[in-house]
Structure 1
Amino acid sequence: MQRREFIQSSTALALGALLASQSIYANTPQTNNSQLNLNVFSKHLQFLNYADMADAAANIGFDGVDLTVRPKGHVLPERVTEDLSRAVEGLKSANFSPNMMTTAITDVHQQDSKAVISTAGQLGFKVYRMGYYRFNQDSKPPQALKEFNQKLKELAVINKQANIKGAYQNHAGVSFVGAQVWDIWHMLEDVDTEYMGCQYDIRHASVEGAQSWPVTFNMLRNNINSLVLKDYKWQKVNSKWKLKNVPIGQGMVDFKGYFAILKSLDINLPVSMHFEYDLGGAEHGAKKIAGNGADVFAAMQRDVEQVRLLWQQA
């Protein structure tokens, strides 16, 4: 190994060890003291119309909404030219600006994808989350990643025309491309990352990389353009370990450590908050929920307050 290669390799390893060391977290310099920009994932408020959703989000304490613009979402892709502007009117009625949205877009040739991107850009949205790619049983991952890389390059071109950023979320699971966060690093190779990047989900990153997630976070950090917050824990059910989604701070995500890293790197990006524990069906995007909305709002408010506190303490 050449001396330069050795130094570069050693530096990378040292940085990975630094980020992974919990003892370092407490002493990380805090350069970013501003509040997180928290947006409710509108999947969990799909039992409300646009104006009521925005009003509820504002009363709960959110800074905005991550609007679902996808099949079974608040806005259906085939109706984007008619309904997205109505959704934006609802957001503005609560003094929110259009900012984040979640889509099922994976390809520029997909039906309605160009219409969704261009309409969102015209209305002022800044970033949209994509749909997911999956490995099937016959997949050869290196070749599949090259194909996905090409799709992201093509999407980046359309995004630039619309002045909006795309974001691919890392999602845990055996078939999800990006469960191993290295997948996303490969998919973004030579992509215009000003217009295509990663929506980093600390919950899913922790599931797949309990102690190694800081290394892959550091690898992607310059390509991360939005964040997701939620929590989980492992529990034994009928002698088998399974994942259980829980309120923020009641699970296994080291939020203080994570937030300390974000502060040390001066990273304060738009955040989508997800609520995937039992909320009477709201966790699954139900149009009608069991119980009443007040219980959903109260649960969300507790998580918002917990996130604000953990951010302050980090």
Structure 2
Amino acid sequence: MSRIKHRRNFLQGAGGAMAASAAVGGTGGRAAEAFLGAAGRTETEAQSVPIAVFAKHLQALPPEELARRLGTLPVAGIEATLRRGGQIEPERLDAELGRLCDLLARYERRIVIAASDVNRATPAAQRYLRTLARHDIRLFRMAYYRYDFNRPIVPQMEAFARQAQELAELAKAEGVAGLYQNHAGRNYVGAALWDLAEVLREVGADDIGVAVDIRHTGVELTQSFQSATRRIDPHRRAVYVKDFRWSANGQPENVPLGQGLARPVFDDLQSLGFRGPLSLHMEYTDHRDPSQVEASWRAICNDVRTLQQWLQSPEASQG
């Protein structure tokens, strides 16, 4: 299927979302309905490439309300925070995950990715992954590996590679797959993508793939991202979508999607072809402040609209 036809299929059920251009107002699901109309009613209408909304900024919502609001958006579901400090604490997963899945299913939504604390094969990790599989959640985002700059780098990479291989074997046995997100920062394994390709060299992408984050890729590799995205491409299983700009003090600042510098990375990945879900990470409100949940919801609705526009009209930005 050509990329143009692929995009048309994705957007087939979302025409109402594109027709309205007014700013999102109001609260709750009405904010989405104001510009999405009926476009978000069912996943099957629009999702040849499923979109997930990262739930970190919506954790203050009761699960029932979260599910209802998601039902108004043209998304497949959420990247759920099933980790310490998240929607469900790991030790409560057995007791609470089924209810969250059932609530989402009422609105034809689901957990697309589980954001986890797992990055090695342990008995606790096995129980966690087995619980995900029992609820038909097939992708989990791993916790990060980090370098110790007081030790040689290459032996650390070799140790991380062994950990990844062992975790990949466990994930395969449990019927799930890991995602490792590249994250900008001084000691994150994978910030440059090239090192992550080496760490995962002996691991199949069906067992542990890479979630290429366009914001973090743009921050770390502003001018050289194309070589890195092609090096990691055989392992790419998801794309994480958010935006940034450089602040006056030279630090990256998170901004609404479309108002920053991450678009060229997105278009580059789209030119290579999307595989797996797109996870929308809205990171420019304070998720720690429950009073910000309505502002976060409005921001997510706007970012969903922008993402649809990006999918419909790729820019020629890879020159």
TM-score range, shorter chain: 0.7 to 0.9
Q: 1:272 Cα shift?
A: 1.2
AA of the residue aligned to 1:185: A
CA contact (8 A) 1:66 1:102 kept: yes
Q: Deviations over 1:120-165 (max 9, x none)?
A: 0121112111001111232311111110111111111111112111
Secondary structure of 2:251's match?
strand
The change in CA–CA distance for 1:232 and 1:48 in structure 2 (over 3 A counts) is same
Q: 1:30 Cα shift?
A: 3.9
The change in CA–CA distance for 1:193 and 1:268 in structure 2 (over 3 A counts) is closer
Query: After the TM superposition, which residues 52-131 of structure 1 pair with which residues of structure 2 at under 5 Å, given as runs?
Result: 52-109=65-122, 112-131=124-143
- TM norm structure 1: 0.82
Cα distance between partner residues in 2 of 1:83 and 1:190: 35
AA of the residue aligned to 1:202: I
- Superposition RMSD on alpha carbons, in Å? 1.9
CA contact (8 A) 1:77 1:112 kept: no
Given candidates 178, 194, 206, the residue that maps to 1:166 is: 178
AA of the residue aligned to 2:266: Y
Instruction: Name the residue aligned to 1:203.
Output: 215
Say whether 1:141 aligns with 2:153.
Answer: yes
Secondary structure of 1:99's match?
strand
AA of the residue aligned to 1:122: R
Instruction: Name the residue aligned to 1:180.
Output: 192
Instruction: Name the residue aligned to 1:24.
Output: none
CA contact (8 A) 1:32 1:266 kept: no
Q: 1:58 Cα shift?
A: 2.3
CA contact (8 A) 2:204 2:235 kept: no
Secondary structure of 2:189's match?
coil
Deviant stretches of 4+, over 4 Å: none
Secondary structure of 1:56's match?
helix
AA of the residue aligned to 1:228: Y
CA contact (8 A) 1:101 1:129 kept: yes
Instruction: Name the residue aligned to 1:45.
Output: 58
Q: Deviations over 1:172-193 (max 9, x none)?
A: 0001111111111011111132
Instruction: Name the residue aligned to 1:312.
Output: 312
AA of the residue aligned to 1:308: Q
The change in CA–CA distance for 1:73 and 1:310 in structure 2 (over 3 A counts) is same
Q: What is the percent sequence identity of the aligned residues?
A: 27
Q: 1:254 Cα shift?
A: 2.2
Instruction: Name the residue aligned to 1:249.
Output: 258
AA of the residue aligned to 2:273: D
CA contact (8 A) 2:182 2:216 kept: yes
For structure 1, which segment, 54-63 or 163-172, has the greater mean C-alpha deviation from structure 2 after superposition? Answer: 54-63
Cα distance between partner residues in 2 of 1:299 and 1:264: 27
Secondary structure of 1:39's match?
strand
Q: 1:31 Cα shift?
A: 5.6
Say whether 1:258 aligns with 2:266.
Answer: yes
Instruction: Name the residue aligned to 2:226.
Output: 214
For structure 1, which segment, 187-196 or 227-236, has the greater mean C-alpha deviation from structure 2 after superposition? Answer: 187-196
Q: Deviations over 1:195-223 (max 9, x none)?
A: 11111101101101002111111111121
CA contact (8 A) 1:131 1:168 kept: yes
Say whether 1:271 aligns with 2:273.
Answer: no
Cα distance between partner residues in 2 of 1:263 and 1:228: 12
Cα distance between partner residues in 1 of 2:178 and 2:50: 18
Cα distance between partner residues in 2 of 1:169 and 1:107: 15
Secondary structure of 1:112's match?
helix
- Larger RCO, structures 1/2 (Cα 8 Å, 6+ apart): 1
CA contact (8 A) 2:177 2:207 kept: yes
CA contact (8 A) 2:147 2:188 kept: yes
Secondary structure of 1:59's match?
coil
Q: Deviations over 1:235-270 (max 9, x none)?
A: 11xxx3111100000011125x633x4443332421
Unaligned 5+ runs, structure 1 = 1-27
Instruction: Name the residue aligned to 1:22.
Output: none
Secondary structure of 1:71's match?
coil
Instruction: Name the residue aligned to 2:43.
Output: none
CA contact (8 A) 2:54 2:78 kept: yes
